[in-house]
Chain A
Amino acid sequence: MVLTVQEISKKFVRSVKTDRRKREREEFYAVNRLSFQVEAGDIFGVLGPNGAGKTTLLRMLGGIMTPTSGTVSLLGLKVKDNPNAYKRAIGYLSGNTKLYGRMTPRELLTIFGKLYSIPEAVTKSRIQEIITMLKLEDFADNRIEKLSTGQTQRVSIARCLIHSPALYIFDEPTLGLDVLSSHAIIDFMLKERQKGKAVVYSTHYMEEAETICNKILFIHKGVAIAEGSPESLKAATNTTNIRDAFLTLIKERGELLE
């Protein structure tokens, strides 16, 4: 088992206007008691509409947000006990993990290698390897601010595999990318799965998830609705695709908007 998640919740506080001059704190759960497991070779899809709690969940899995309750453990290591050791085994990528524009990809990777405490010689050969693998040769020494969106996304991927993590956490990695760029990312995930790495990945593109995920978790308003392989989810809801499966499940709960 690569990743074990037990009953994690995240509580936020927001202020609500109760009358004209009073504001009170209101607590709500962005993620509410989710439990699941991810094995080596899994591409685990977290699916849900906007505001379902996907980003909060993935941030907690990435070790950059602390759960209010529950435990997350990676290869037997609990994030609570040693967050830094935990982070060393994770490659985290989201729409919010931007890169330093005034640096070149090579400089960025060198500094990140140092921050992961990788010996300098190892970092060097690893960077060369990554540059060939992700085809960064043409712009490895140009400033990142000068690169195109697709090129930048490839550098972002390079950034999260410099320390060869056991688990990748990708939060909507294909959001806003063109066909070629998103294909490169999907291709990358499929290749890493073959190497025995695990991927937890969130999206609201249901079709994309259906083709690559072997496990899917539906969440809505922070709560798990269903979990299983795409086939089992379709079978359980008697539908032909994941999108319809999701809509059926929501309807059953009587929570469809409109």
Chain B
Amino acid sequence: MSNFRFQALLAIFKKEILDIFRDKRTLAIMILLPLILYPVILVVASQFSIMMMQSREEKVLDVAFAFPLEPRLETLLKEQESIYKLNLRDPGDPAQALAQKEILSYVTLEKTDGRDSFKIYYNSSDGDSRTASDRISMVLEDYKRLLTEDLLLKAGLAAESVLEPIAYQEIDTAGDNEKTGFFLGTILPFLMIIALVTGAMYPAIDVTSGEKERGTLETLLTLPLSGLELMGGKFLAVALVAVISALINFFSLVLVGIFLLRSLAVQAGGGQIPLQLDLGTLILPFGLILICILIFALFVSALILCITCFARSFKEANNYLTPVMILFMLPAMATMIPGITLNTKTAAIPIVNICLLIRDALALNYSAVNMAIVLLSNLVYTIMAVLILSKIYNSENILFGTGGELNLLESRRNIITGSKISCGDCLLVYFAGLVLLFYISPLFTRKFGFYGIALTQAVILILPLLAAVYLKADFKQTFWLKLPAIRDIVGGLLLWAGAFILANLSASLLLYLFPQNEEVVEQLGLVLKGDSLWATLLVVALLPAICEELFFRGFIFSSLQGSVKTIPAIGITGLLFAFYHLDFIRLAPTFILGVLFTLALYRSGSILVPMIMHFANNALASISLFYPAMLEKINSIPAFTGHNVLWPAIFLLLAALLIFVGNRLLTVQKAMSTDGNK
């Protein structure tokens, strides 16, 4: 990458754009489809639902009252026949009649504690049956009211004032802007994400596996191009197409949305009230959404390219992208779950963060810090993905190799025994794990409380083990199963001490730059605190030390090592470890810890060394939960609060010294053991 030529990148970009835009299929999918699709869906859906509702309302439904009718109830049913629209029938066995759909619902009567107690039987899977049961409830409700009024009359009371001593009315004060925003905010992000992904999919396949299938890739490789020039150009072209298609989708959707709201307003207001939309206040949120679309288009394009470049043909690329589409859709539904809001935690989760930001923007609700985190984290993901891309697309395996880099999608019969796990497989397992954790971990904690953490850890352990078994990997090699020397352990612990100081310093710096609610930090501690110190040590310190180390240092680092140089592999492992914690404030500290754990593993060659380091780190945190005074002391010494500079500087030096000495101890060990290893 020494002499990167931007001109070459631009030339590739131009070539791809020319190629994509001359394909009529792309243009049709990109421009015509969204323009036609949404209005058509809207018209068809609304017509259909109106039709269904009308027919259901008009229909007279067959029901049975499985008891002799009391005279007042009978009169009620007769008098209000045109409102209830019920046809009373008398089958021998109502339960069977309901099962055979001869009647749609029936009522039974029992006497409990001297009161009449009715039971309405219906079948919730049948729409008509639900309506029938609703109508019967209406009848019984009216009957109840009738009886109450009778009783009150007998007691000499005025029914109206007893039953309804007060009166109230709901009046919605939300302006049309907010209503529009809320409506769009729930549905728009999801549709936008899908539009962006589909928009990026076709060009991404075209510029990667398309080149392979049409046989132009080898032509391209005869050119003096670096991976970054090549993939950078392709990436920008895909991103541009994705943005254009997303914009078209966006405007088509907004138009449909405005039309829909207007027709709703017309219905509600009897055709008189025009929709009061003040375009001025919508300029800011729309501008923000445009930025979101841009940034997200970059991210989506890079991610999809990472996947399609492994495919050898259009068909294979399509197969790879189907599960990816689902992977995108799940987090995109986050906006439809009311409890999830944009905070420093969710702002770092890809896809979810963009959706939430769009929703917030439309509800005219902004937070600069969160916005910055969302945009920044997406940029970081994109740059990472492009760098990975530029490394892998040039590699011979993808070009001429017979076996795909994604062995997990390969049938197990064809996998070579004892082979190394590829970079693609590793990333696939990682992202699958990330998505799984995002959904499973809160579920476990809600259901099993503190011990839910243990279950989450089990998932982290099982995932790489299953993958390793499927890929027929050499367990000893993949998971670095080797006993360390005492010297390694001492070196590792020194390294950890340095890492701990650095991590605390960086955390305090981040907290200083992005002030966070103290309660959030404290709450995190409460979740991690178990019944006793020993339980906490087991669940919070020992289990993560084993499970997370086997996953990150064992599985991920081993597989990365095969495709990337050692130093980038250590860095990427640290980054993946940091992002796995799904918290912006802990990003820097976990990154530092992750990198140094990986370094210790690389130097010592034994998984036990980072396990011990990880245990020491988490154990200290667990113990301090039970002795808060100690926690305060430990955290406050090497903390940066903006006033003191001297102490942090001294601790920084100390950390550097510890890391240096620890690393030296490990280095010597490595030099001695290399011959033995190979």
List A residues at the B interface (Cβ < 8 Å). Answer: 13-15, 21-25, 59, 62-66, 83-88, 90-92, 94, 96-103, 107, 111-112, 114-117, 143, 159-160
Contact = CB atoms under 8 A, between A and B. Distances in A.
30 contacts: A15-B403, A15-B416, A22-B417, A23-B414, A23-B416, A24-B416, A25-B418, A59-B400, A62-B222, A65-B396, A65-B400, A66-B396, A84-B226, A85-B224, A91-B222, A92-B222, A96-B218, A98-B214, A98-B215, A98-B219, A100-B216, A102-B19, A102-B22, A103-B15, A103-B18, A111-B15, A114-B7, A115-B224, A115-B225, A143-B22
Contacts of B18: 102-103, 107
A111 B10 CA distance: 10
A84 B224 contact: yes
B12 interface: yes
A103 B8 CA distance: 18
B14 interface: yes
Contact of A116 (B218, B224, B400, B413): B224
- In order of increasing CB-CB distance, the 3 nearest A-B pairs are A84-B224, A98-B215, A114-B11
B219 A99 contact: yes
A115 B419 contact: no
B216 A64 contact: no
B223 interface: yes
Given A97-B215, A97-B218, A111 B224 contact: no
Given A23-B417, A25-B419, A117 B218 contact: no
A103 B416 CA distance: 42
Given A66-B396, A97-B216, A103-B15, 11 more contacts: A24-B417, A64-B399, A84-B225, A84-B226, A97-B218, A98-B216, A98-B219, A99-B219, A100-B216, A102-B23, A114-B7
B538 interface: no
Contacts of B19: 100, 102-103
Given A100-B19, A117-B8, A15 B414 contact: yes
Given A15-B403, A65-B396, A23 B413 contact: yes
Contacts of B14: 111
B8 A114 contact: yes
Nearest to B5: A117
Contacts of B11: 111, 114-115
A159 B225 CA distance: 16
Interface in B1-52: 5, 7-8, 10-12, 14-15, 18-19, 22-23
A22 B412 CA distance: 10
Given A111-B14, A115-B12, A25 B416 contact: yes
A66 B214 CA distance: 23
A59 B400 CA distance: 11
B668 interface: no
Contacts of A103: 15, 18-19, 22
A153 to B, nearest CB: 13
Nearest to A23: B416
B562 to A, nearest CB: 13
B416 A115 contact: no
Contacts of A102: 18-19, 22-23
A54 B333 CA distance: 54
Contacts of A112: 223
A252 B279 CA distance: 88
A64 B224 contact: no
Nearest to A93: B222
B481 interface: no
A115 B8 contact: yes
A90 B222 contact: yes
Interface string B393-431: 000100110110000000001111111000000000000
Contacts of A99: 216, 219
B324 interface: no
Contacts of B396: 65-66
Contacts of A87: 222-224
B151 interface: no
Contacts of B513: none
B435 to A, nearest CB: 31
A90 to B, nearest CB: 7
Contacts of A86: 224
A100 B215 CA distance: 9
B221 interface: yes
